[in-house]
Structure 1
């Protein structure tokens, strides 16, 4: 899932006094909870879509407006933040990262609370407004928490810390379909009908967000801030690989979210699996869980670790743990299927020779093939092909980001802001896929919409990510 945003760590450290040598383990553990929470909340949208579609008798494209409201906030709030940064100075640096995080948590909690009146009034538009406010808070969290994590420790370990927190983000996206499916579709709310079943889960989320805000308020976290002055202008746009990278982030987030938003309805199809919503939520967890597992693989494979045998040993160990967990949780059949997909993932890492842009290109090519199988096959083959896409999505977001900001120098932070705005792809592609499904009457063929996104990602990996000296005219 889209969760972390690299920033100009060196510049941030200088602006904040360069205090990066202390032991920040405690603060880092505290802040890491945020990554889990926004991953969990983001993935709950995949449960909301079929639920509200059923409650309000919506066409699929209308139900996909849930993602438009949610990810549209990323674009609008990030755009406003970008404008403020280049005209008035960085707002987060002015108030401090800690206060910025608290603001984001409180705004997100307000959005969660608004689900209660939205359900009481039985208003789909109210739900969309609540989602927009919720996502606005998460956007502020993204802007504040990522650079904060990068600064909490030595600069050389920043990437490692961001990978660790991103893994927690993936854990949130993995368990959200299971817990959300149980709470919203399952026995816990069996006595509640319609939209009423979302009230208690989102009130509970609001309480958790406010509790974390209070914890961060009283915790002894480093108070990091600065004048945040940024010169006017958008010099980052002169870099071709950044401009193409912005499009690539749009395509990636759009494709990933569109697929995840469609899977429960896809698994319900009689000729695919014929599952009920709650059971389909369990298999949706495989999709997001694959991203988490693949992210661990990618972190090891694409690291600067010189000993290749050590890389293989670590990856084999992770695969063994995953196999064991799936075997005890689901049985031998699911564990063996997952192990086979992991082997395919590792094979693509080998083909990519652990080079980021090559690996990105081959992973995207693999997803293209998987989407073709998803679109035209039936039964378990189609179902597991769709699930496997998550495993290959894993490295894409951080890899695209890293390639896009390479060589930007003083324009790195500005480039990062522009890339955050491109997350709006998650607001655009799901309704487009839903519209294709509705108008064609064929949900399965609608997976050709995200296929176009991954074709572009493949291009960016193999060619578009190359740094060129000349500016964009």
Structure 2
């Protein structure tokens, strides 16, 4: 994956690389993380809405989430190649514009309305987010001091969690609250005219999202982002041939860690409401259980702020090990207890999951140098592991919902293995 010979891959033409420039850049980039967290959860709000509008089966509804993760698999390597060609800053702008195009496309899908067009536009939005992930995550990790890379990425990822917290309120008010299907009692059969009106309720929120994305793209295009320097510069084809991604243990096992971690994170989020509402656990309605879900995502935001501060003084792999042990303990409590203890244990999983993705990512690209873009693309591709959350659904059907969290416990064990051994690559001298 060699490009033309260059001496440096710059994020901007500005020479400013001091602490003030870094802080300004991180503040701006935090808005990117907020927006893709916001849009990801907004699309989750669409699931019950689209089932009502298109009268979907559970399989057809599941395709909506699968398409989202499939986009990470297909768009990651092309995103890395694009970054090699045009640089980090232009790639971030391009990712935002792709997302805006997908958001506007959702208004077309709502106007028709069309289930097929909806799936395609969600794929477009997810592809734009993939490009942002491949560009923004390594950029945040590389600028500034290497020893605090995980701290920086956890800090901006906290804004991603803030987006996931606020999005359900936005979606509930502007999508579900303005639709007949969203306000009717369970089991209500909508007329054709009501379904058409519900489909049109999606138009306004996605127009607003598209406008915000375009404004953000203009701001980032004009902002003097600090240059990344020569540490991750691309090289000539003959020089590139001397290097291999697969010789870096931290990257190879890091891909597995992200893939497996996503199974745990998405599984907990998807099954939370069903678990908490059970008579032997929370004994509450699904609506009430949904309010507790906000605490799960809120815990992820708090954990990232706390983790960012801790990593200023403690090695990232040590913090990851402690958090993975904490996650394992609360998952086991969830499995082997009942009542409020099991419910609050599952809520605490969000706190311990908080630092995992950004920390695994920074450890995975540590020491890659000119292979950073390609390594980032592979790590983002591993997010496709979220599509395998269906495995936990199968376990829940076959052995019971509570026992299905044994899969989550196994995922925590792999993250612990990565923190203790997998991320320590003797080939790296970073």
**Match for residue 203 of structure 1?**
207
CA-atom RMSD, angstroms?
A: 3.7
Give the Å deviation of 1:113.
2.2
- Deviation at residue 237 of structure 1 after TM alignment: 0.7
CA contact (8 A) 2:13 2:224 kept: no
SS in 1 for 2:308: helix
Residue matched to 1:357:
317
Q: Does 1:291 align with 2:295?
A: no
Q: Mind listing any 5+ residue stretches in structure 1 that lack a counterpart?
A: 1-9, 85-90, 305-353
For residues 420 and 139 of structure 1, the distance between their equivalents in structure 2, rounded to whole angstroms, comes to 7
Superposed displacement of residue 392, structure 1:
0.1
Residue of structure 1 equivalent to 2:217 = 213
Is 1:422 aligned to residue 382 of structure 2? yes
Alignment-derived partner of residue 92 in structure 2: 101
**Cα separation, partners in 2 of 1:280 and 1:12, compared to 1, 3 Å:** farther
Residue 431 (structure 1) aligned with residue 428 (structure 2):
no
For 2:169 and 2:340, the matched residues in 1 are separated by 20
Aligned length, in residue pairs: 402
Distance 1:51 1:458, change over 3 A: farther
Residue by residue over 1:149-185, the C-alpha shift from the partner in whole angstroms, topping out at 9 and shown as x without a partner, is 5677787876665443222222112222333334333
Change (3 A) 1:237 1:182: same
User: Is the contact made by 1:433 and 1:449 (CA closer than 8 Å) also made in structure 2?
Assistant: yes
Is the Cα contact below 8 Å between 1:167 and 1:295 reproduced in 2? Answer: yes
Residue 100 of structure 1 and its aligned partner are, at CA, apart by 2.2
Whether the 8 Å contact between 2:324 and 2:416 is mirrored in structure 1 is yes
User: What is the correspondence of 1:83-102 to structure 2 with a 5 Å cutoff?
Assistant: 84=81, 91-92=82-83, 94-102=85-93
User: 1:170 pairs with 139, 147, 161, which one?
Assistant: 161
Report 1:127-146 matches (<5 A): 127-146=118-137
Whether contact under 8 Å (1:256, 1:393) holds in the other structure is yes
The answer to whether the 8 A contact 2:296-2:347 is kept is: yes
**1:106–1:209 Cα contact (<8 Å) kept:** yes
TM-score, normalised by the number of residues in structure 1: 0.72
Measure the CA separation in 2 of the matches of 1:110 and 1:284: 30
Mapping of residues 383-422 of structure 1, within 5 Å: 383-422=343-382
- Aligned CA distance change for structure 1 residues 371 and 57 (closer, same or farther; 3 Å): farther
Q: Distance in 1 between matches of 2:20 and 2:62?
A: 44
Matches within 5 A, 1:319-334: none
1:374 aligns with 2:365: no
Q: Do the aligned partners of 1:74 and 1:423 also contact (CA within 8 Å) in 2?
A: yes
Equivalent-residue separation in structure 2 for 1:57 and 1:266 (angstroms): 25
Correspondent of 2:32 among 3, 20, 34: 34
1:458 and 1:109 map into 2 onto residues whose CA distance is: 38
> Match for 1:456 among 401, 414, 421?
414
* 1:458–1:93 CA distance, 2 compared to 1 (3 A): closer
